[in-house]
Amino acid sequence: MSSEAEDGATGIIRRNKVAKVPQQTELDPLALALNNFYENRVRLGLERKEICENIAQAVSDKILRKIETADSRFRGKSVVSQGIPYDGLQAEEAIHLDMLVQLSFGKSSGVFFRKDEEHGLHVQPESSTVWKDCLSRNGFLSAEKVNRILRYYVAKAVKVLNRYIRKGAKEKLPKRLRSISMNDGAEIVLIVNKDITITLLPVFVLPDSRLDPGRQDCPSSSHVVCRPFIYDSARKMRMVWNWCFFVAEKNRIRALGGPSCRVQLLRILTEIRDTHEGLRMLSSYHLKHVLFHETHRLNDVNVWASEHISERFKDLLRRLLSFLQEGNLPHYFMQPPDFEAVNLLEDIDSDSLQEMSHAVSKILQDPCESLSCEGTEQRQSLWPWELELLSP
């Protein structure tokens, strides 16, 4: 059941959805607090995420359509968001999205790869014709060169869009675009409407490489993405190829939706993380993998029904606490024998892990305290670019 109202000034449809939860008289105090927290703190953030993703998608699509006319190796209709992060929803903070730009290998889609001894992957296309200007001397596809070419094209497209903005040519601009700029540096980072940060990442698809096709915790396909890597004490950066499982993660989240409290609890946990000083070093990515592991352990959907939300909330906190105390959160998809094991907490120092363990223990002692909805006025304020949309 839902109702919709359109803001005449912005054309933005505001949705007021009614969550299907048990009657309040049937809820224990923690369940009541969880549902109130979701309605009063999380839902507004979800609405803003949807608006931001629509704007980011429109801007990225416009830029890539222009680039594809000059260089068909960058596929114009392939820009995909990795999914809105659960981060940065305070009105005074920017929101950040990663947008993946799929590369074309021409008629031959074959590609070979092996692990780099230092970091990342070595990638070698089956045909050297399409990307011959981006190959290293030993025939590997250079992440640095691919990223540099895409950055050059994006910079030209941004100049064109800014020219349209200055001339007031709204019909040539993506919907709701008010301003756009590009950061310096190796990464391709766009600032849209002053508060939305978009990182464009070159990426290509790998076919099914599972040793055991029956494994459900290993995705049937994956991506290799161009990302920055800090490689010495001087904090020097270079672009490298690395694994990316965004499709598998989105599919997993989608599968966990349905009539259960699983995704609801993930959003509640990430909202708590956003507002809790002691948990700031945890990313939404960490919490997502905690949920993947816990739903794998408790794989009966019935135990995740809405009436069990209190028990499952505490289960997730206990699982997170155990990972923090062990200093090891295994990547859900990168597991032997298909991949070397990856610890998502390996870059966090022991003092920070201990501090976060203490914070989670404190939440477990009094969960309702962490779900207080005091101070929600901060979430009701608008971002600066939203104010511009409302102005005459």
Tens digits of residue pLDDT in 123-172: 888 776 889 999 988 889 999 999 999 999 999 999 999 999 999 999 99
Domain CATH code at residue 336: 1.10.1410.40
* pLDDT value at residue 277: 81
The answer to the question of residue 109 being in a domain is: yes
User: What average pLDDT score do residues 285-313 get?
Assistant: 94
Please indicate, yes or no, whether residues 339 and 328 belong to a single structural domain of this protein. Answer: yes
Give the chain's mean pLDDT. Answer: 80
Bigger pLDDT: 44 or 30?
30
Average pLDDT over residues 354-373: 90
CA neighbours closer than 13 Å in the CB half-sphere of residue 29: 6
Local structure of residue 25 (DSSP, 8 states): G
Check whether residue 214 and residue 345 sit in a common domain: no
Co-location of 72 and 122 in the same domain: yes
Domain that holds residue 301: 245-378
Residue 298 sits in the same domain as residue 197: no
What span, in angstroms and rounded, lies between the C-alpha atoms of 104 and 111?
Answer: 11
pLDDT tens by residue, 82-108: 544 434 444 445 678 888 888 887 776
> Is 35 among the domain residues?
no
Identify whether residues 198 and 253 lie together within a single domain: no
219 and 260 assigned to the same domain: no
- Bigger pLDDT: 34 or 4? 34
Same structural domain, 359 and 297: yes
State yes or no: pLDDT of 22 exceeds 60.
no
Predicted confidence at residue 158, as pLDDT, reads 97
Q: What is the DSSP string of 251-320?
A: HHHHHH-SSSSHHHHHHHHHHHHHH-GGGTT--HHHHHHHHHHHHHHS--GGGGSGGGHHHHHHHHHHHH
Would you say residue 102 lies in a domain? yes
Statement: residue 390 has pLDDT above 60: no
> Which CATH number goes with the domain that contains 178?
3.30.460.90
Secondary structure class of 11 (helix, strand, coil): coil
251 and 239 within one domain: no
How many independent structural domains does the chain possess? Answer: 2
Q: Which amino acid is at 134?
A: C
Residue 234 lies in a domain: yes
Q: Is the pLDDT of residue 234 over 70?
A: no
In a domain, 23, yes or no: no
Which among 52, 57, 58, 36 is positioned nearest to 86, based on CA atoms?
52
User: Are 64 and 201 part of one and the same domain?
Assistant: yes
Tell me if 202 is assigned to some domain: yes
Region 315-336: what's the mean pLDDT?
94
Q: Which amino acid is at 190?
A: L
pLDDT at 375 (0 to 100): 46
- pLDDT score of 12 more than 50: no
Instruction: Give domain status of residue 300, yes or no.
Output: yes
**What is the mean pLDDT of the segment spanning 286-298?**
95
Say if residue 8's pLDDT is above 50: no
Provide the whole-model pTM: 0.78
Does residue 141 fall inside a structural domain? yes
Does position 320 have pLDDT exceeding 70, yes or no?
A: yes
Asked which of 202, 226, 244 is the last residue of a domain, the reply is: 244
Quick one: average pLDDT of 272-283? 85
Same domain, 274 and 368: yes
For the cut 70, the answer to whether the pLDDT of residue 69 exceeds it is yes
Instruction: With a cut of 60, say whether residue 51 has pLDDT above it.
Output: yes
Q: Do residues 57 and 183 both lie within one domain? A: yes
Do 269 and 364 share a domain, yes or no?
A: yes
CB contact at 8 A, 328 and 354: no
Select from 197, 223, 244 the last residue of a domain: 244
Domain end, chosen from 244, 264, 296, is at 244
